[in-house]
Structure 1
Amino acid sequence: MPLEAALAPARVPAPAPTVRRPRSRRVHAALLASAASVCLIAAGAPAPGPALGIGDRLFPTLGNPGYDVRAYDLAFTYPGVNDKPLRAVTTIDALATARLERVNLDYAHGTVRSVEVNGAPAGFASAGDDLVLTPAKAVPAGSPLHITVRHTSDPVPAKDQDGGWVRTEDGLAMANQADAAHLVFPCNDHPSDKAMFTFRITAPKEYTAVANGLPGRTVRSGDATTWSYRTRHPMATELAQVSIGRSSVLHRAGPHGLPVRDVVPARDRAALEPWLDRTPDQIAWMESKVGRYPFETYGLLMAGARTGFELETQTLSLFEKDLFTEPAYPRWYVESIMVHELSHQWFGDSVSPRSWSDLWLNEGHATWYEALYAEEKADRPMEKRMKAAYGLSDGWRAAGGPPAAPRVPEPGRKISIFRPSVYDGAALALYALRQEIGRPAFERLERAWVAVNRDGVASTADFVDLASDMAGRDLSGFLTAWLYGEKTPPMPGHPDWKSDAPHARTGA
């Protein structure tokens, strides 16, 4: 996910980081089981009104009320160069949850050619980051909503926008976090509205296209090939991935026969294979901690691009190729980053955040298992890393907010919410929780969390409730202090740990 590198700039490895009550039936069952520069053609549509949004504290204009997306079908035609728009068709199947005279989608970087709603042509116009549709007939609450948008998808970033398509040495990949999928295709761009995905990618025959999920039919016609993929589990828009390049796709078996497929530049296949061979054992290690891998496949997409981050796109994590080819990075460090992204398949992908303020549930857990793997496999003590994080924690909270209440992103930089307080700062809160309730209860909590919320969304309040249930006592006060406090609470079991106060601002 974005700004993993913010915790270790230039990836210089170091042992210290630089960087409601619950839904009771689900809980007890688990315990028993243990859009900016958009070019749109208005088609005679009336004035669209303001962008709506669902009121997310960090991204208030994104996401849309009034419907629940069930499935996306995305078709892209790649022209053979990565600086020209792709032709695209986005089909959305949804259920109207309110009567809709207009339908808002998030979309902000392409040209719309036509729109149909429930089989009839619809008007459309732009409003900020929204594409506002006017159906020929109002859509009643409780009825199906079928939308087809013919548009372009521009891989050249617009000013003051980050995310979306990533141009690689030989093609394209996607990095849609946070809330940047609408720079690629029209959607309800918020992780709380997960859906099934089908992808159809047409490219010149010398290219290979890969996307989330499992492959379907591959059709060759003349000088072009169309590749298709489909997910078997719901997915947030931010986790969509499409790779187009001169790639090799490598296959191996993971635990329980899990299909593992990796996508690498064809010319680098031999050099990257030793790293890829580590993935099945890493999956087995994660399964020993939190239970069965939650999806139909997994693999690494190693892209020839400089992004400054790695990203846990569902079933196919995005990595910079240079992470594996730069000799300055020790093996233990690279493998711990691999485990960080792998652990997101449970924490962030299978269990997605209800709001972006719940981001710590993704990043704190991924950082936790990254550090635990380094401790168990490379003798890098967790306690030493957590003590160092504790020393920096007050400064992180002052600069970026506490783990569960990160400050709003900087203008034009959505990924600026990915600050140290939601990485090692959040892992520090998990360490404090383990200290408070003991290792056995903590480990039961981790397994229960991913079982309770599999294929769903969950909030910080849900985590606090489940932790209290597992501990047999109310932990809301303890966890509220750790997750929302301006100052870092005392560390259970380590009264000697100190957090340095942030330097006073001088106005310089």
Structure 2
Amino acid sequence: MQLSSPRLRAALLAAASLTLVAAVLPPPKPLGIGDRLFPELGNPGYDVLSYDLSLTYKDNRTPLDAVTAIEARALAPLERINLDFTHGTVASAQVNGEPARFESAGEDLVLTPAHPVAANTPLRITVRHSSDPRGSADGGWVTTEDGLAMANQADAAHRVFPCNDHPADKAYFTFRITAPEGYTAVANGLPGALPAARAAGATEWTYRTLHPMATELAQVSIGRSAVLHRTGPHGLPLRDVVPAADRERLEPWLLKTAGHIEWMEQRVGRYPFENYGVLIARARTGFELETQTLSLFENGLFAGEAEGYPEWYVEAVMVHELAHQWFGDSVTPRTWSDLWLNEGHATWYEALYADGLGKYSLDRRMREAYQRSDQWRAAGGPPAAPKAAAPGQKIGLFRPVVYDGAALILYALREEIGTAAFDRVERRWVAEHKDATAGTEDFVRLASQEAGRDLTAFLRPWLYGEKTPPMPGHPDWSAPVKQKAAPGTAGKTAPGTAPKPAPAQEADGKTV
């Protein structure tokens, strides 16, 4: 029988081609880029340039319908393409406009294109899939009282959408979110278009980032939210997203953000992105998270003394997540072993801010950290070579050693090279690596340049040593001693969700 339909003929030929290709290839297997802490995270062979993610939300009990479109460039010849993806069902896949075979291998989605992809050529991938918010014990979607939010750190973005889920491969993002009447959807970046009406009273919201972003920093919030707009330093657009019912109560906190940005800019330079704001969710996560341009906070953090959080502490935590916009978001760690550069710097500016409020001196906090440092290193490894999380404890990587233990390195560096040189290091670091990735050796090299001498021998024991070195300028600080950590010093955690232990701090004699 002759096939009279060109479209049908092409479809059958493509299917036959896929079957023949699959027959000669070995079974698919999960791949990774060899990260020491997450060896199967990320995928070799291509560089993602952009994601275009469409999500249709119904309710928290129903998987979202989704389409993920990826623009990439092949770095090597590819007979198969691995994407990180789990917790969803794939309906179809295309590579460069043609149907592609799809299979699962571990937490990878493995695509077999109709034709091998040549090196140094464009790569266009489209996957139609579901995104399941249920059973989010491993992170990704976070269920709130009125909808959803996203918390992907460290390795949970691929529980939401197919991606190259490693911070080394940053990309631009477009989000298209359809939500029922009465709901508001927000995402990283700026609105890409006015909200558009869809069937049955639903609305589609579109957002685009103007700077590349790691997958772990993506944020989508869907809820009965109020979106508040104001202007920050030098005309910076500020956008806060809060439960509509809590708008009035939260307003005094939201008004503080502009001052926090001014404070940070005085120390490290201009804010690096297109806008900023806080997303306050009615959820108990046990962490706050620096999602790019829109930091995620628990509603309970702003409950005041009733929850044991004094005002100065809450402000310091807000500065912690803001500082991450420079350290971790704009300058992203090349590997997860470089996490100390994120958390150490955010903790440093959090502590510096609290010191300026006269509530918890930096010297006191660093001396207390010094006393516990050996204990933290024994439990979690040295700051720049942390131990991997135990099986089933994915947020276990976020231990005190990469928070106050890492801030202690910055304190030691400042004591060694002086405040002026240290401040130059900080400004150069965020300026020279803006919108890029960088690692520990890059930081050592830059610090050495500003100090006018090679600091490798000084910094290596602080970064990689099993024991904490002597603190420059403080001969009275005795060698660290073993002691029980005060309650809360391990930080707050939420089992199975994305990480952000709140650094332990003492307020008026009370540990929170």
Alignment pair present for 1:254 and 2:227? no
Aligned to 2:473: 493
Q: Letter of the aligned partner of 1:259 in structure 2?
A: P
CA distance in 2 between partners of 1:350 and 1:421 (Å): 23
The equivalent position to 1:204 in structure 2, one of 163, 170, 180, is: 180
Q: Letter of the aligned partner of 2:84 in structure 1?
A: D
Aligned to 2:28: 49
Aligned to 2:96: 118
SS of aligned partner of 2:391: coil
Alignment pair present for 1:350 and 2:330? yes
Contact map agreement 2:52 2:175 (CA 8 A) in 1:
yes
Aligned to 1:398: 378
Give the CA deviation at 1:498: 2.6
CA distance in 2 between partners of 1:379 and 1:129 (Å): 46
Contact map agreement 1:53 1:63 (CA 8 A) in 2:
yes
Q: Letter of the aligned partner of 1:434 in structure 2?
A: R
TM-score by length of 2: 0.88
Aligned to 2:190: 214
Alignment pair present for 1:308 and 2:271? no
The equivalent position to 2:311 in structure 1, one of 321, 327, 331, is: 331
Alignment pair present for 1:163 and 2:143? no
CA distance in 1 between partners of 2:82 and 2:41 (Å): 10
SS of aligned partner of 1:50: coil
Contact map agreement 1:170 1:304 (CA 8 A) in 2:
yes
Aligned to 1:18: none
Contact map agreement 2:372 2:483 (CA 8 A) in 1:
no
Q: Letter of the aligned partner of 1:98 in structure 2?
A: A
Alignment pair present for 1:388 and 2:368? yes
CA distance in 2 between partners of 1:205 and 1:48 (Å): 45
Q: Deviations over 1:138-190 (max 9, x none)?
A: 000000000000000000126xx521000000000000000110000000000
Contact map agreement 2:367 2:477 (CA 8 A) in 1:
yes
Query: Equivalent residues in 2 for 1:230-245 (5 A)?
Result: 230-245=208-223
Contact map agreement 2:304 2:310 (CA 8 A) in 1:
no
SS of aligned partner of 1:344: helix
Aligned to 1:193: 169
Contact map agreement 1:317 1:342 (CA 8 A) in 2:
yes
Q: Letter of the aligned partner of 1:193 in structure 2?
A: D
Structure 2: 5+ residue runs without aligned partners? 1-17, 485-512
Q: Deviations over 1:96-145 (max 9, x none)?
A: 00000000000011100000000000001011011000000000000000
Query: Equivalent residues in 2 for 1:113-192 (5 A)?
Result: 113-157=91-135, 161-192=137-168
Q: Deviations over 1:341-396 (max 9, x none)?
A: 00000000000000000000000000000000011123421000000000000000
Contact map agreement 1:48 1:126 (CA 8 A) in 2:
no
Aligned to 1:280: 258
Structure 1: 5+ residue runs without aligned partners? 1-42
Contact map agreement 2:348 2:407 (CA 8 A) in 1:
yes
Aligned to 1:407: 387
The equivalent position to 1:361 in structure 2, one of 341, 349, 353, is: 341
SS of aligned partner of 2:390: coil
Aligned to 2:430: 450
SS of aligned partner of 2:357: helix
Aligned to 1:66: 45
Q: Letter of the aligned partner of 1:63 in structure 2?
A: G
Matched positions, count: 459
Q: Letter of the aligned partner of 2:445 in structure 1?
A: D
Aligned to 1:75: 54
Give the CA deviation at 1:503: 7.3
SS of aligned partner of 1:280: helix
Q: Deviations over 1:165-223 (max 9, x none)?
A: 00000000000000110000000000000000000000102100000000122101241
% identical equivalent positions: 69
CA distance in 2 between partners of 1:498 and 1:105 (Å): 50
Alignment pair present for 1:370 and 2:335? no
CA distance in 2 between partners of 1:164 and 1:379 (Å): 35
Q: Letter of the aligned partner of 2:416 in structure 1?
A: E
Give the CA deviation at 1:501: 4.3
Q: Label 1:464 to 1:226 Cα distance change in 2 as closer, same or farther (>3 A).
A: same
* Bigger Cα Rg: 2
Give the CA deviation at 1:495: 1.3
CA distance in 2 between partners of 1:48 and 1:180 (Å): 25
Aligned to 2:247: 269
Contact map agreement 1:86 1:154 (CA 8 A) in 2:
yes
Q: Letter of the aligned partner of 1:191 in structure 2?
A: P
Q: Letter of the aligned partner of 2:37 in structure 1?
A: L
Give the CA deviation at 1:499: 4.1
SS of aligned partner of 1:166: strand
TM-align CA RMSD:
1.3
Give the CA deviation at 1:468: 0.3
CA distance in 2 between partners of 1:349 and 1:498 (Å): 36
Aligned to 1:36: none
Contact map agreement 2:70 2:126 (CA 8 A) in 1:
yes
SS of aligned partner of 1:174: strand
Alignment pair present for 1:431 and 2:411? yes
Give the CA deviation at 1:282: 0.3
Q: Letter of the aligned partner of 1:174 in structure 2?
A: M
CA distance in 2 between partners of 1:392 and 1:503 (Å): 7
Aligned to 2:272: 294
Give the CA deviation at 1:326: 3.6
Contact map agreement 1:393 1:499 (CA 8 A) in 2:
no
The equivalent position to 2:81 in structure 1, one of 98, 103, 110, is: 103
Aligned to 1:16: none
